[in-house]
Structure 1
Amino acid sequence: MTDKPGTPAVRTMRTRSMKPPTLVAPVLLALVMLSACGADETDPVPAPVILDGPSIRSDPDSARHVKYYEALAAIDPEIRDDNPDWAWDRGRDQCTSIKGSADDAKLLELAEKRFATPDHPDGFGLAKNKLIMKAVRQYVCPEL
């Protein structure tokens, strides 16, 4: 490039035409194909799934609630806490584990974790965990 005397040198940059990345075409093709995969409005509504075996009831009758809380308070008043829903929810979680496992050592370990409190962050110990498990089985999910 030659500069004329008295004029500043201006360099022109040659721009290369930008080609779209090679992934654009496959992505666009996939989007077009997926947009065609919709459910027809005439599809039947699927039937509800019914599980075999006893279920874990969400709300017990009041007598079972009271007996469960009394059992926990007899083991250790702190287990029950000031929130009865907390204890009931932990019991239901334990029932789900009971339903899925016959390993008593694992169930006791889960009870230790589930029923831990701020003053007992590591649980209440093996003896109390066994009593908690007994109360859960007797009052929260006796059908299991």
Structure 2
Amino acid sequence: MTTILVDADACPVREEIYRVAARLDLPLVLVTNGARPVRPPPLPKARLVIVAEGADKADDWIAENATASDVCITADIPLAARCLEKGARVITHKGHEFTPANIGSALAGRELSRHLREIGANAGGPAPMAQADRSRFLSALDRVVMAALRDQVGKG
């Protein structure tokens, strides 16, 4: 069954995810290390997983539990790569879809940005969320979830 897995600690589109999960009656798992308060929605198929504090503990849980029928929501590029290796679909909170075709360049860009930050050449961060980003995210989530559900029916 297609499950929506959410890297929930820094996810600004949880309400949008809840609406899609409720509309499609899909299981939803919010994964957090507890550093920020995250409450699961009052949906029968939603659950909150709180992992031990520490770098990448939530990412590890998501990557270990992701399946080829799942949709993962994260802005963490290494986590996206790990989920793609399991066959899951991955989108960011701004609606960008990571695929096997684009994850390599995303990882390389992340490494370049890290290097530029280390040498002090890159002071900017990501742009704040705009309403257009939320709309793009909802459209991408709907498209990706529907593709996952179609694939699941085709394999079943």
TM-score higher than 0.5? no
Per the normalisation by structure 2, the TM-score is 0.22
Q: Which has more radius of gyration?
A: 1
Per the normalisation by structure 1, the TM-score is 0.24
- Structure number having the greater helix percentage: 1
